[in-house]
């Protein structure tokens, strides 16, 4: 199948919502990338594919609800949902948890699945929540040390230790 916008083969199959109607788009990697990340355009004018998918998932939600969703920001890396929609790239591992409800339909569209069944690391922290907690604490500790707030840093270190020992128990 050829890309609908150029001569290259289409490798991306995107369901977009146009006037509330789902529409299939078949694009090559390059055109899909352009389509998914409208750089200069005002995001309110275009409904990129991801927003279309989200609209599909959140039937009954109003435009204001969607606008509010765009404003949502990951507390760890600071990426907004709008930024993610525009560039198609997430800001940190925690985004998968933070935007899980919105990402789910997108994952279904891309992979037809939402559960990993392959290999897993032998040494990593398994619990995603604890993992992000550790990441946050390590960051805070670094900041505390940089700000010469050693008392706070040692409190955080104890907190990290207790999480890690609980994990290894």
- CB-CB neighbours of 142 under 10 Å: 12
- Nearest approach in angstroms of CB 13 to Zn ion is 13
- Asked if 136 touches Zn ion (CB under 5 A), the answer is no
Per-residue interface string for the shown chain with Zn ion, residues 11-50, x marking contact by CB under 5 A: -----------------x--x-------------------
**Overall size of the chain counted in residues:** 169
> What are the two backbone dihedrals, phi and then psi, of residue 3, each rounded to the nearest 5 degrees?
-60, 140
| Contact of 10 with 28, CB cutoff 8 Å | yes
How does DSSP classify residue 70? H
Q: Mask of contacts with another protein, 74-93, x by CB under 8 A?
A: --xxxx---x---xxxxxxx
**Interface map 90-129 toward Zn ion (x if CB under 5 A):** -xx-xx----------------------------------
Closer residue to Zn ion (CB): 17 or 76: 76
Backbone dihedral angles phi then psi of residue 98, each to the nearest 5 degrees: -65, -40
Element (H, E) at 35: helix 29-36
Are 71 and 124 spatial neighbours (Cβ–Cβ below 8 Å)?
A: no
161 binds another protein (CB under 8 A): no
Stretch that binds Zn ion, among 5-13, 42-50, 100-108, 110-118 (CB under 5 A): 5-13
Under the binding rule (CB under 5 A), the answer on residue 3 touching Zn ion is yes
């Amino acid at each position: 199948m050829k890309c609908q916008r150029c001569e290259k083969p289409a490798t991306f199959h995107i369901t977009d919502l146009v006037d509330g109607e789902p529409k299939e788009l078949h694009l090559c990697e390059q055109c899909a990338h352009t389509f998914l990340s409208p750089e200069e355009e005002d995001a309110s004018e275009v409904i990129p594919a991801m927003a279309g998918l989200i609209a599909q998932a959140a039937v009954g939600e109003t435009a204001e609800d969607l606008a509010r969703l765009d404003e949502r920001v990951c507390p760890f890396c600071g990426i907004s949902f709008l930024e993610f929609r525009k560039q198609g790239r997430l800001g940190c591992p925690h985004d998968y948890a933070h935007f899980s409800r919105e990402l789910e339909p997108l994952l279904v569209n891309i992979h037809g699945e939402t559960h990993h069944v392959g290999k897993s690391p032998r040494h990593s922290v398994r619990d995603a929540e604890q993992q992000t907690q550790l990441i946050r604490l390590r960051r805070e500790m670094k900041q505390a040390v940089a700000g010469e707030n050693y008392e706070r840093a040692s409190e955080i270190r104890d907190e990290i230790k207790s999480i890690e020992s609980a994990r290894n128990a």
